[in-house]
Homo-oligomer: A and B are copies of this chain.
Amino acid sequence: MEPLSIYKKNYHVDYGDADFYKRLKLSYLFNYFQNIAGLHSENTNVGIRKLQNDYGAAWVMTRMLMDINRMPECNEEISIETWPVEPKKKMIDRNFIVRDMDGSILASAISTWVILDMEKREMVRIDSVIPPQYPEFLKSKAIDRKFDKLKPSGQLQPAYKKLVGFSDIDINGHVNNAKYIDYILDCFTVEKHGEYRVKSIQINYVNEAVAGDIISLYKDTVDMDGSDKAVYITGINEVDGKVNFESHIRVQ
């Protein structure tokens, strides 16, 4: 296939991809994004295998901002399109738009990716890997606003502790970006999930976690009952005290 500026693919929401309320699990939407980003990278000759074989490196997502109009339902067919914009020195932003079969936008997202040298655990320059014959970079963005600075408005409350297991880590040996979405949503009861829907989420992946780590989840729901209905959630590694991720959710 000719290298493409925009890559598009349909996904079917199987029963196993859905939560108790028969909506697509948010973490599975992150999985779909990961899948289509991988396919597009393959299409433009900077795929997972090539990065590993030629550079000992891997694509790693460092942050994601998503606006959600409606989560896809069980058995629904959706289409996702993705495109990167021109890279900076060590990072590249990738856009996603999710549509239903009528073409209505269900969700829009922007994400930032780096290429990590897996041995040194260091970022490498994007232009040392992206080939000169890369198709034209588009300038349009799926969401026309900047990533927020994330901070709690009130006091952080402990939610629960998560022991990272073998099932949480991916081929890169660290907790996969989509897993953190499950960790975040597990801070809330089934009833709360029935009451509220996520309208937007930003997550910053700050430090890697590996199997055996214990992540303490904290949330600040001080704005939950106001008009803003916002929650700040963070995960802190109990072993070294480092922040694993910070996130901010707006609900409705």
* A interface with B by C-beta (< 8 Å): 14-16, 18-20, 22, 25, 27, 31, 34-35, 38, 48-49, 74-75, 160, 163, 165-171, 173, 176, 178, 182, 185-186, 188-190, 193, 210-212
Contact A34/B16 with A186-B165, A186-B167, A190-B169 known, Cβ cut-off 8 Å: yes
When chains A and B are docked, how far (Å) is the Cα of A168 from the Cα of B190? 11
Q: Which of A18, A167, A169, A212 has the most CB atoms of chain B within a 10 A radius of its CB?
A: A167
When chains A and B are docked, how far (Å) is the Cα of A167 from the Cα of B26? 10
Residues of B within 8 A of A190 (CB): 166, 169, 173, 210-212
Shortest beta-carbon distance, A105 to chain B, in Å? 24
On whether the beta carbons of B212 and A171 are closer than 8 Å, the reply is: no
On whether the beta carbons of A35 and B16 are closer than 8 Å, the reply is: yes
On whether the beta carbons of A171 and B22 are closer than 8 Å, the reply is: yes
Residues of B within 8 A of A168 (CB): 186
| Smallest CB gap from A49: residue in B | B75
When chains A and B are docked, how far (Å) is the Cα of A49 from the Cα of B14? 12
On whether the beta carbons of B178 and A165 are closer than 8 Å, the reply is: no
Listed by A's residue number, 11 A-B pairs whose Cβ atoms lie within 8 Å are A14-B35, A14-B38, A15-B34, A15-B35, A15-B171, A16-B170, A18-B171, A19-B166, A166-B193, A168-B186, A169-B190
When chains A and B are docked, how far (Å) is the Cα of A176 from the Cα of B167? 15
Contact of A166 among B31, B35, B185 (CB under 8 A): B185
